[in-house]
Amino acid sequence: MTLMTRAAAWYDKFNALSFFARRAIMFCASLALWWFAAMLQSMHFDNDLCVVMLLAGAAGVLWSSELWRLWKVFAAIVVICLAIIR
């Protein structure tokens, strides 16, 4: 059994899960990546690597939780807050 055959079998098993289960697994994995990068950053590890990992983890959490669809709401809140501060 080659590596590609094993990877394809795992991919098929992952796709057999329900939509919510797949998103929950991706959310947890992205959150774990973000947490790991934050720990590395706190230990003053390579800053460039940590920034990339933090951004990838945050993007994965936003995408898997469907919060990216609310960008207009967040943008409106930012505009209102800036108008109040001004």
DSSP state of 2: -
pLDDT at position 16 = 93
**pLDDT value for 74:** 84
Query: For residues 33 and 27, is the Cβ–Cβ distance under 8 A?
Result: no
Give the model's pLDDT for residue 63: 87
What pLDDT does 10 receive? 92
CA-based torsion, 14, 19, 20, 23: positive or negative: positive
Residue spans of the chain under pLDDT 50: none
The pLDDT of residue 67 is 78
Global pTM reads 0.71
Provide the 10 A C-beta neighbour count for residue 34: 19
Domain ranges of the chain: 3-85
Q: Residue 49 is encoded by which pair of tokens?
A: 């690597």
Task: Locate 65 and state its tokens.
Answer: 């939780």
